[in-house]
Structure 1
């Protein structure tokens, strides 16, 4: 049997899940993110894939994606967990933190959370510290010379992001921007603004559906969301369309195994 052309898998990271070889994972991620020239492009699903690839490829514990319409404030459009979602919503509400600064100044920002040195953003730092994070790296998403969002990378173990991971985070941010641009060219009537508006609107619908499933099945928000995404992928549905149907009552998802609820029709 021929030997594998790839080096052995990397050891697990204490900050996030491990995968196969780094080279293979990076290549697959960039190819997948570039594959947006399709008629049924789903912005909501795309941004969640960006967050997932950050988790898979970088030595981090959580990731989030923020976007902004022209001359409008940042909005959270994707996050890897409920814990980081709440921290990032707090950051946006407080209008302070590394992600907000990275967006305003169009430059990467590192922020260490150690509970000893006076924090640069006291309210955000206290909230992130309570959530168990030790540092944040924020990388702006730039479309040509315009900053349209930020990749937010949270670590749970001491130390800042390694230099190799900084470069890869920059590549993922660039791939995100380029993918949005090339998908826009598929239809001259569609614009980046329209894409961002769609992402922001569908984010609200997805959160409503997630809350509905959380309450109905008595589960946690992360489980509810992952089940919704799995159902959408299995049945080849757009995530936003499934979320609308759940909120409208058109589609009912069965409860998670072992919850004791009867299966939905």
Structure 2
């Protein structure tokens, strides 16, 4: 039932107020809910061979590892996108493949990574990155489910693009990148003003936005300009489990 609900949620994109940034955060969160992983991230590239960009991540720890991977231009996620094939990588203390990435991932507590391309037929638009705190490849059942989530993500984004040719996808991805920047600014503001860590700041933003049926980007802007002050006691802003999970 959880798998079916997740796939239905990812298919629900043909709406006037579709928000690609919120959609991509939901993709990462569904991976956390359905798969045996510690963190997830989504990277996308703009049409026309644009650079691969990080657009959503489930924690500050994995966000920094993935940004390092993109800067270093080495790692399973980077390679899975460019080769358009899924990759399992066990993070060893000394790795002959992607040594810089492996050292950074291991220092962050990750012992294996699974990267699944986000593609529809011959078109690859990104990669779904799954980080684990145990060694070894992702179990086969989870590999298949990760493939299904990646495919659903590709279909949903490219389905949106057909509404106004391929230019719409480019506009949406640019918007997602801009939104991520705004959210990072809001996280920084909250961490400095409320003495909380970035992960807690993001989870409080997400919880508040959901509870009040707001776009997370709109809430982040209001936090930055001081027009809204979030409650920071777990359970005061919606689902208590959601406030304290992960």
Q: Does the pair score TM above 0.5? A: yes
For residues 189 and 160 of structure 1, do their structure 2 counterparts lie closer, same or farther at Cα, with a shift above 3 Å needed?
closer
Q: Does 1:87 find its partner at 2:31? A: no
1:188-223 per-residue CA deviation (whole Å, 9 max, x = no partner) reads 696111111111111111111111111111101011
Say which SS state the counterpart of residue 251 (structure 1) adopts: coil
Question: Normalized against structure 2, the TM-score is what?
Answer: 0.90
Superposition deviation, residue 247 in structure 1: 1.5
Q: Counterpart in 2 of 1:125?
A: 102
Between the aligned partners of 2:14 and 2:163, the Cα distance in structure 1 is: 6
1:160-184 per-residue CA deviation (whole Å, 9 max, x = no partner) reads 1011111111110000011112233
Between the aligned partners of 1:104 and 1:51, the Cα distance in structure 2 is: 21
Structure number with the higher helix fraction is 2
Q: Counterpart in 2 of 1:62?
A: 39
Superposition deviation, residue 250 in structure 1: 2.4
Q: Counterpart in 1 of 2:80?
A: 102
Q: Counterpart in 1 of 2:210?
A: 233
Whether the 8 Å contact between 2:160 and 2:169 is mirrored in structure 1 is no
Between the aligned partners of 2:74 and 2:166, the Cα distance in structure 1 is: 36
Q: Counterpart in 1 of 2:221?
A: 244
Between the aligned partners of 2:231 and 2:58, the Cα distance in structure 1 is: 23
Q: Does 1:211 find its partner at 2:174? A: no
**Residue correspondence of structure 1 range 17-56 to structure 2 within 5 A:** 24-56=1-33
Say which SS state the counterpart of residue 254 (structure 1) adopts: coil
**Residue correspondence of structure 1 range 176-187 to structure 2 within 5 A:** 176-186=153-163
Q: CA RMSD in A?
A: 1.7
Question: Normalized against structure 1, the TM-score is what?
Answer: 0.84
Between the aligned partners of 1:119 and 1:79, the Cα distance in structure 2 is: 27
1:44-65 per-residue CA deviation (whole Å, 9 max, x = no partner) reads 1111110011111111111100
Unaligned 5+ residue runs, structure 1? 1-23, 258-265
Between the aligned partners of 1:62 and 1:119, the Cα distance in structure 2 is: 24
